[in-house]
Chain A
Amino acid sequence: MAIVAQHSKFSKIAMPVLAWVVALIFFFPIFYMLLTSFKTDADAVKPEFLFSFTPTLENYTNMTDNYDYWRFASNSVITSVSATIFALVVGVPCAYAMAFDPSRGTKDILMWMLSTKMLPAAAVLYPMIFLTKSIGLFDTHFLVIMVLSLINLPIVIWMLFTYFKDIPKDIIEAGKMDGLNTWGEIKEILIPLAWGGIASTALLTFIFCWNEAYWTVRLTTIDAATLSKLIEGNRAPEGLFFGRLSAVSTAAVGPIVVLGWFCQKQLVQGLTFGAVK
């Protein structure tokens, strides 16, 4: 094993140490936020309590009173889950057709879809507010769900397409021979085979929906407002309420970060966007 002998002492010891240091630096801001969330607002700004302090759960127990956290959180869950499901329902058949029955226009359609993602949202902000207010959709769950799924649809289709493309066509053809119709092919063959890709697409879409902070902030006021709106609307003036702000921030990103940890392998699998063969 020439390659193993090649590795110097440096790469055997220094590289893992360096990797650990880099990882801890990257994680530190999140750790610091978590730490601050257990301090009282007064302690949070005192340097002498930086790492040694009396932990308190006060910020979390008061979260409902201070921020009405649960309403925003449930809005986030409802809209993100629904938008993800809707985007998949529209995206899977589309990607299926593009991957297994490509025509000459398929590539152009895909490119066009991606290019809609590049339209600056700000350019159409006012018409959207104007339109949705005039037809009474402003600040509704329905609107947020539609917007979230539409802005993510191009990426959903692209990810699914690159994933489906690697499935041998013969397997799908075999299904046709067995007398399956299109729906049967999707349900019986494609979905079980591409389950990994579909799951990782769903995960990434869910994360993007949960974290979206442009439309969800600007097209809602109260009823359909999500956690992004809660954080952006309640950021305290400098130095005030670091403790409670950390607590509500931790509660806003916690579910997604933990979900991401558990599904990391799954996510990596689908995240290549066809970049890795």
Chain B
Amino acid sequence: MSNRTIPRLLQTPAVLLLLFWMLVPLGMTLFFSFIRYFLNNTRRPEWTSPSIDNWRGFGNYQYVWNQDAFWLAIQNSLLIVCSILFLTVALGIAIAVLINRSFPGRGIVRVLLISPFFVMPAVNAVLWINMLLDPVLGLQGIAVANINDVILGLRDAPLVGGFFSLWPKFEPISFRATQTSAYAVIMMVTWQWTPFAVLIFMTSLQSEDQQQKEAAVLDGAGAWSQFRFLTLPHLGRPIAIVVMIQAIFHLSLYAEIEIVSRGNGNKNLPYYIGELVNNNIGAASATGIFAVILANIVAIFLLRMVGKTLME
């Protein structure tokens, strides 16, 4: 056996499995996207089974392209993913710097901070939308009601009463509404994934060159310029990793969207496809192909960013 045979053999199972996992469903999706295929259609029963006779060409693509809901879904996907990425990276860096030095109870702080990362998405969504954000029964509702009560009480107080009587009565926000449901999703996913960013940044900060920092201090560098010119460049690679891994996970968010508002106002691309799959398989598949194209655009960008560092 030649030198190269054994390494190839060792890689074969993984490569074949992933190839199969990718190509078979993708091939079927591609086929379905070019035919008329409905699960229920009493008027045209021949469309209820996948057959080459129902060829529709690019009709499904055209149909989806002209749907407002499709563009709204893309817009929502990008809004949700970009917001989460920005928030987790910013919060992650801030918290990692905050806990980088040792202080009493640092171990416990770390354990508390990392906990949300282990919570399953379904529980995360149920917990946030019901018990924390509900405008009446959740903590938000209770907090707003209490603040209103306090303000009401202060209106009769001497001196400051006049000031507080000018205050409006606060209204709790309903996070199941069309305008706000995307923010509920962003909030809960940020809560869950910030710990992941913290973990990676924290590990990276520990390998930071302390001598370089001391030299910078001797040169009179302040805390901000140390952070800006030493710490932030040092975190470049970890940021790339955090962005990439999270993009992989958040482009396919589903459970949170479903639980918060059943897609009302926060429908992303996977959810839109999920709705189409209930009947119009052709259009769902065409949307799926669009989603694959979108994911590939993102992937090329992200993999370039990470690929450079991979083989070093």
Does B113 contact A115, Cβ atoms closer than 8 Å?
A: no
**Which residues of A (152-182) have their CB < 8 Å from a CB of B?**
153-155, 157, 162, 182
Report how far A277 CA is from B234 CA in the complex, Å: 11
Query: How far apart are A154's CB and chain B's nearest CB, in angstroms?
Result: 7
Name which of B60-68, B114-122, B152-160, B162-170 contacts chain A. B114-122
Q: Interface range on chain A: under 10, 10 to 19, 20 to 34, or 35 or more? A: 35 or more
List A contacts of B238 (CB < 8 A): 272, 275-276
Residue B255 CB within 8 A of the other chain = yes
Q: Does A6 contact B (CB under 8 A)?
A: yes
B146 to nearest A CB, angstroms? 8
Contact assessment for B127 and A33 in the assembled complex, using a CB-CB cutoff below 8 Å: yes
CB distance from A191 to the nearest CB of B (A): 14
* CB-CB nearest in chain B for A10: B223
Q: Is the CB of B137 within 8 A of A32?
A: no
**Do residues B270 and A15 form an inter-chain contact, with CB atoms below 8 A?**
no
0 or 1 for each of A125-149: is its CB under 8 Å from B? (1 = yes): 1111011000000000000000000
Give CA–CA (A30, B188) in the complex, Å.
Answer: 12
> Which residues from B are CB-within-8-Å of A227?
120
Query: B199 at the A/B interface (Cβ < 8 Å)?
Result: yes
Q: Contact at B199–A114, with CB atoms within 8 Å? A: no
Pairwise interchain contact B210-A23, C-beta atoms closer than 8 A: no
Residue B103 at the A interface, CB < 8 A? yes
With A118-B251, A122-B269 as contacts: A130 and B122 at CB distance below 8 Å: no
B95 CB to nearest chain A CB (Å): 6
CB pair B136 A239 closer than 8 Å: yes
B310 touches A231 (CB 8 A): no
Is the Cβ of B116 less than 8 Å from the Cβ of A264?
no
- Which of B3, B218, B274 gathers most chain A CB within 10 Å? B274
Question: Does A232 touch B at the CB level, under 8 Å?
Answer: yes
Pick the residue among A3, A122, A124, A257 that contacts B274 (CB under 8 A): A122
Cβ contacts under 8 Å, A22 to chain B: 95, 98, 113
Interface contact A235-B116, CB-CB below 8 Å: no
Q: Does A220 contact B (CB under 8 A)?
A: no
In the complex, which residues of chain A have a beta carbon less than 8 angstroms from the beta carbon of B281? Answer: 126
Contact B116 A30 (CB under 8 A): yes
Find chain B residues with CB under 8 A from A101 CB: 3-4, 6-7
Are A16 and B104 in contact (CB-based, < 8 A)? yes
Which residues A184-211 have CB closer than 8 A to chain B? 207, 210-211
| B64 nearest CB across to chain A (Å) | 12
Given contacts A113-B18, A118-B248, A249-B127, contact A131 B28 (CB under 8 A): yes
Interfacial chain B residues near A119, Cβ < 8 Å: 22, 26, 292, 295
Q: How far is it, in angstroms, between the C-alpha of A231 and the C-alpha of B142 when the chains are bound?
A: 25
Interface status of A24 (Cβ within 8 A of chain B): yes
B245 at the interface (CB under 8 A from A): yes
Q: Does A65 contact B (CB under 8 A)?
A: no
How far is A111 from B118 in the complex, measured between Cα atoms in Å? 27
Q: Does A228 contact B (CB under 8 A)?
A: yes
A115 touching B199, Cβ below 8 Å: no
Chain B residues near A256: list those with CB within 8 A. Answer: 118-120
Chain A residue nearest in CB terms to B277? A126
B137 contacts A124, CB within 8 Å? no
Please name all residues of chain A whose beta carbon is closer than 8 Å to the beta carbon of B285 when the two chains form the complex.
123, 126
**Residues of chain B in range 162-217 having any CB-CB distance to chain A below 8 Å:** 191, 194-196, 199-200, 202-204, 207, 210, 213-214, 217
- B148 contacts the other chain (Cβ, under 8 Å)? no
Complex interface: chain A residues within 8 A of B110 (CB): 23, 264
A274 pairs with B310, CB closer than 8 A: yes
C-alpha gap A242/B118 in the complex (Å): 21
Name the contact of A273 in the complex, choosing from B28, B139, B245, B270 (C-beta under 8 A): B245
> Which residue of B120, B121, B199 is within 8 Å of A271 (Cβ)?
B199
Write out the residue numbers on chain B whose beta carbons fall within 8 Å of the beta carbon of A264.
110-111, 114
- Cross-chain contact of A94 among B10, B207, B295 (Cβ < 8 A): B10
Residue on B nearest A255 in the bound complex, by CB: B118
Apart from A90-B17, A118-B251, A119-B295, list 13 A-B contacts with CB within 8 A. Answer: A23-B108, A32-B127, A94-B15, A98-B7, A114-B248, A124-B28, A126-B277, A127-B24, A150-B18, A217-B255, A235-B130, A249-B123, A264-B114
Question: B-contacting residues of A (Cβ < 8 Å)?
Answer: 2-3, 6, 11, 15-16, 18-20, 22-24, 26-27, 29-30, 32-33, 36, 45, 47, 50, 90-91, 93-94, 96-98, 100-103, 106-107, 109-111, 113-128, 130-131, 150, 153-155, 157, 162, 182, 207, 210-211, 213-214, 217, 227-228, 231-232, 235-236, 238-239, 242, 245-246, 249, 252-253, 256-257, 259-261, 264, 267-269, 271-277
8 residue pairs A–B, Cβ–Cβ below 8 Å = A2-B218, A109-B11, A109-B15, A125-B284, A131-B28, A150-B17, A162-B310, A232-B258
